[in-house]
Amino acid sequence: MRQNLGRSTRSIYLGLACLSLTLHLLLAFFCLSVLQTACVLPTSSSSSKPRTDTQGHQFVVRSSSSSAASSSHKLPTSPQIDEHHKLNSNMLHHRGRLSLNESTERKQKLILKVKGHSKLEALFKHPLYNLPYPEPQEDDWLLRVKTNEEVRDTSEEDEWEDDLNNDSKWQSASEEEGYDKITWTSDVDTHPPWLRFHLGITRWELYNRKDPILGHLTHYLATQRILGAVQKTGGTQLKLLVLFPNYGQALVKPMRQPRDAETDVNLFYFSDFERHNAEISAFHLDRLLGFNRIPPVVGRLINITTEIREVTSDHRLSRTFFTSPVGNVCFYGQCEYYCSTEHPVCGQPHALEVSLAAMLPDLSLAPRRSWRSPWRRSYSRTKLAKWEKDPTYCDTVKQTPPYSHGTRLVDLIDMAILDFLMSNMDRHHYETFEKFGNETFLLHLDNGRGFGRHSQDEPSILAPLQQCCRIRRSTLLRLRLLTRPGFRLSDVMRESLAQDPLAGVAPLLSEPHLSALDRRLATILQVVQTCQDQHSDVMYNDLEGYD
């Protein structure tokens, strides 16, 4: 009887073990099927950079031709990023937030739609988005890496010359904790993404949409380990500068309010919070318009404690951290507006959504000139600017350099069109690279006050277009293209934003904001039509010689 009882007990134990193993396997397969996403992982690039500030390397523009073999419309994200954001999405509870299952289902539907027919891919295949630029000459590149021969000619240190003769690569002697040991050569493949982005800037655009470095750079910003964080000086609101292991940097703007929260209609344009999702959306919109004048921006979910508080060397910033009554980690920094305990930046309890923008080359290498916009607002609660009172104001602008010749006026009107679409009234200055003089594009920087209201448009933003009645032919044709059902602006914008890592948490723009883009686009075209009815020289033909 004891033997039979022992056999029965062993059989029961064995059966339970088999059942447990089967359940674990089923659970594993189920989790994999839910969490798997169709993200494209870019090939790894070296995380290296020359220590230009300590070793005396100079960048003065030459870059290898960008490869057109890579897809021109995808901004790849990592499967690890998507999984990280999905697993942490339950930590964020602002209004309108999608649940994990809803987010996964939405992205899967979008992936199936994209596989069948992608409006974004069709848009970027259109000839209007593939106009050839002249072959860049030496002076058309912002930066270039000096060859060994050029460094030998200008170097005053015999020891440095000997090093160049003996070794074609430069190695960092840095022993700084956390930083990667750098091995940098003249081969572009050894450069980190941020450096390759800098070396690709030309007289005509900030980046080439077809260059695979765009995908590498956004992936880099979304995944690199953060080694340090300090508060960026200047400006009116809180901004951070974060540092990466290969000496890269990014400008961070934190989430201050729910994405679908509209700006109070009683607030002045200079009194609103800057929005992290506005910075991300502005980059995508600028790309869809074919401008390519906003540095790449990507969303990221960071840990306030481990990725800001514990790594910051900024004592002024560190003193502003506190724990809220409900246990969320918060900080407020020091700035002109909204930096107080009444306006904190808080995690949930540690997780925080932010935008990370690629930094432009250091001003010591590539100086920039700041220009006051002729259509700058008064920034007064009682006074109007001159252009708001004088309908013939543009006649004076047209006679004033640099707007009296070249493309500067239509460049400014391009920027006004971008600002009107995202309802950004805060455009008081703009910048250009000094090296290119007046023959270059305008940098569309600082877009955090866009996408504040979707229920109301601000026609005064279009004053440059309305008063000057001048527009680039290529810009107008792209705007008309984006009204067609096959390329509708709201649809391609939705598809483009879905590539951002934070889209796994919630849509970057709500549907009312996307609908507002179509409405505002129709308004722009109506203004152009009114100009064409009244004037004969509305079009600036930048497509002369093209079919």
Domain boundaries, the chain: 368-540
Question: What is the rounded distance in angstroms from the CA atom of residue 440 to the CA atom of residue 443?
Answer: 10
DSSP-derived 3-state class of residue 243: strand
DSSP-derived 3-state class of residue 256: coil
- The pLDDT tens digits of the residues spanning 309-366 come to 999 999 999 999 999 999 999 999 988 877 888 889 999 999 999 999 999 999 999 9
The position carrying tokens 């006026």 is 409
- pLDDT score of 328: 96
User: Is the pLDDT reported for residue 16 higher than 90?
Assistant: no
**Higher confidence at residue 248 or residue 116?**
248
Element holding 270 (H helix, E strand):
none
Averaged pLDDT of the chain: 81
Residue ranges of the binding site for Mn(2+): 274, 446
How many C-beta neighbours within 10 Å does residue 71 have? Answer: 14
- The pLDDT tens digits of the residues spanning 131-177 come to 887 888 999 999 987 766 665 565 554 444 444 344 333 344 444 55
> In terms of C-beta density within 10 A (0-12 exposed, 13-18 middle, 19 or more buried), how is residue 285 classed?
buried
Residue ranges of the binding site for ATP: 237, 253, 274, 357-360, 431, 446
Token pair, residue 208, equals 């080439």
pLDDT band at 60 (very low <50, low <70, confident <90, very high): very low
Buried b / exposed e along 484-498 (16+ C-beta atoms within 10 A): eeebbbbbbbbbbbb
Q: Which residues are catalytic?
A: 426
Question: What is the rounded distance in angstroms from the CA atom of residue 298 to the CA atom of residue 532?
Answer: 39
DSSP structure class, residue 261:
P
Residue ranges of the binding site: 237, 253, 274, 357-360, 431, 446
